[in-house]
Chain A
Amino acid sequence: MQGPIAPIFISDSIAAHSSKTNIGAHAIFLGQVRADKLADKIVKAILYSAYAEMAEKEFHRIRENAFHRYQLCCLHVYHSIGEVKAGEISLFVFVSAVHRKDAFVACQEIVDDIKANVPIWGKELFEDGSFVWKENKG
């Protein structure tokens, strides 16, 4: 989605699932932009870009994998495109399962898969107008 993911969107998503009474557990991951300090400069925002068609295919694969491997009721993944300021949310993974073990494990796997395999890039923007390209670690 364009821009940061608003906290109200997250709470509304939770509320939207209360009618699905076979769900016993939700596992939610939120990725927040950190004000990293790099060579005496502080990150004020990240500008995200993506190879959209390939990213959609990867998200679809990740979703299919997760439903195949775990007993999930629902799965929603949202990643920001465009500018997200430090302190704002750029990734929302929302896993709902019958039981908590599947929710916990699936959520971590999905986040790790996204970070490794989805064609998304970020420019870390500094106060002085300069930037570096984000590098994922671990």
Chain B
Amino acid sequence: MIQVLFFGPLSDITGIAVLELSEITDTDMLTALLHNKYPSLEKSVYTISVNHILITQTQNLRDGDEIALLAPFAGG
């Protein structure tokens, strides 16, 4: 099982903050599934982190991984 967290406006778009999924092998598969489930997500700008580290390319996923979809940061 992996945990997928949604932050900022993305949690408004999906209506949830956390989603648990199984049998997701990599981040491409994850985004395809999420875009299908939440069509507005496909038009949104976001980055992905896996276990608190931003990724810049497709990454394999393992059980226990924590993935976050991060809207553009707005701190400060």
Contact = CB atoms under 8 A, between A and B. Distances in A.
B68 A31 contact: no
Interface in B57-76: 68, 70-76
B68 A121 contact: no
Given A121-B7, A133-B8, A133-B9, A54 B74 contact: no
A109 to B, nearest CB: 13
Interface string B39-66: 0000000000100100000000000000
B interface, size bucket: 10 to 19
Give the dominant DSSP class at B's interface. Answer: loop
Contact of B75 (A48, A53, A57, A133): A48
Interface of B: 5, 7-9, 12, 49, 52, 68, 70-76
Given A51-B68, A133-B8, 6 more contacts: A79-B76, A118-B76, A119-B68, A120-B74, A120-B75, A136-B75
